[in-house]
Structure 1
Amino acid sequence: MPSIPGNAPRTPDVQVGPVDLAARVDEALAVQALAFGLSDDEIEVRRHIVLRHLMYPGCRALGATTDEGRLVGFVYGLPNDRAHWWSSVVEPYLRSTGTDSWLDDTFVITELHVHPGFQARGIGRSLITTLTDGAAQPRSILSAIDIESPARRLYRSLGYEDLARRVLFPSAPKPYAVMGAPLPLRRP
């Protein structure tokens, strides 16, 4: 299989590489809405959040695009900062499990989504491994809905382990798990 810079695998019709996520935020949120089941109101709220995140120092984004240029997946992340909202929410949960040190010197996967029609093809794996391979931090952390799902199985296969479960985010209807993994991520 041909490869692209960063050794990201290429599926026959999808390439993973850098993307100007600010310029393509509406396309990305359309993918997230399908993959995550978001309403129009939730999309509008997340649009502002994504654009704000992209301005943080060290934030990096990758996209998965078809040969025609259609965005079918994306990931972005940044070095963690305990002053960020996400960290302030998860910190008490991590402290209760003795894992709050994971908030330091860590690269956060903020969002990772693949269009449902393109899932189960290795695109999510390629997005997250390519992004974290470029991180300066020695480990990665993320949150995922706290249910057994393809996403959680993917994260476990990459070396992520539960640091805290039943994490409640304001206005989120379901609890989340916070997961962490040493970098580089495990390969199959």
Structure 2
Amino acid sequence: MPIIPGAAPRTPDVQVGPVNLAARVNEALAVQALAFGLGEDEIEVRRHIVLRHTMYPGCRALAATTGTGRLVGFVYGMPNERSHWWSTVVEPYLRATGTDGWLDDSFAITELHVHPEFQARGIGRALITALTDGAAQPRSILSAIDTESPARRLYRSLGYVDLARQVHFPSAPRPYAVMGAPLPLRRGE
């Protein structure tokens, strides 16, 4: 897997590059399960979602892999469409804050996860910046659990701001925040 220039994590034996997410979905979901605390039932539901997403026009994925090929992180996203399920859920919240225009002409980060043993090494930053650097859209949107966390701090450091908070997804036990940033993402730590 080739390393993407300018997107190197601080761990020299980890490279960021394109991945066939459909072919490596089980490895990616194993990382997500550890990073996000998912059970087997939820992993199976997400498998079908990820595989469906990989067929969407413009969907792109990157992985962080060790020198031995072990997948230790991944990110994927796609041009946002208001007809996508995620957009239909967040649109009323964004409309209430006057930010629903962010649903148009944005690249949506669908998932970003790094194995807990490899977190805090710049891998998440390398993944998201490399993915958005290849986006044709002028901005990016995503959702994250609405709590102060390393993930939210990372997103803020990249230029993401809260567009709506306390967003409730069906079957999600905790509320989310929807965040948006102009592209290219801000660099630096």
Same fold (TM over 0.5): yes
Question: Where do 5+ consecutive residues of structure 1 fail to align?
Answer: none
> Per the alignment, in what secondary structure is the counterpart of residue 81 of structure 1?
coil
Indicate the residue corresponding to 1:96 in structure 2.
Answer: 96
The answer (yes or no) to whether the contact 2:35–2:114 under 8 Å persists in 1 is yes
Q: CA deviation at 1:68?
A: 0.3
- What are the residue-to-residue correspondences of 1:40-119 with 2, within 5 Å? 40-119=40-119
Amino acid at match of 1:26: N
Amino acid at match of 2:139: R
Q: Distance in 2 between matches of 1:149 and 1:72?
A: 20
Amino acid at match of 1:184: P
Q: Distance in 2 between matches of 1:49 and 1:142?
A: 16
Cα displacement string for residues 97-118 of structure 1 (whole angstroms, at most 9, x for unaligned residues): 0000000000000000000000
Indicate the residue corresponding to 1:184 in structure 2.
Answer: 184
TM-score by length of 1: 0.97
Amino acid at match of 1:167: V
Of 6-15 and 98-107, deviating more is 6-15
> Per the alignment, in what secondary structure is the counterpart of residue 78 of structure 2?
strand
Q: Distance in 2 between matches of 1:151 and 1:52?
A: 25
Q: Distance in 1 between matches of 2:20 and 2:72?
A: 14
Indicate the residue corresponding to 1:39 in structure 2.
Answer: 39
Indicate the residue corresponding to 1:128 in structure 2.
Answer: 128
- What are the residue-to-residue correspondences of 1:17-36 with 2, within 5 Å? 17-36=17-36
Indicate the residue corresponding to 1:148 in structure 2.
Answer: 148
Amino acid at match of 2:3: I
Cα displacement string for residues 65-115 of structure 1 (whole angstroms, at most 9, x for unaligned residues): 000000000000000000000000000000000000000000000000000
Question: Where do 5+ consecutive residues of structure 2 fail to align?
Answer: none
Q: CA deviation at 1:5?
A: 3.1
Overall identity of the aligned pairs, in %: 83
Q: CA deviation at 1:127?
A: 0.1
Q: Distance in 1 between matches of 2:186 and 2:4?
A: 19
The answer to whether structure 1 residue 172 and structure 2 residue 166 are counterparts is no
Indicate the residue corresponding to 1:7 in structure 2.
Answer: 6
The answer (yes or no) to whether the contact 2:4–2:16 under 8 Å persists in 1 is no
Aligned length: 186
Q: CA deviation at 1:52?
A: 0.2
> Per the alignment, in what secondary structure is the counterpart of residue 174 of structure 2?
coil
TM-score by length of 2: 0.97
Cα displacement string for residues 9-28 of structure 1 (whole angstroms, at most 9, x for unaligned residues): 14211000000110000000
Amino acid at match of 2:56: Y
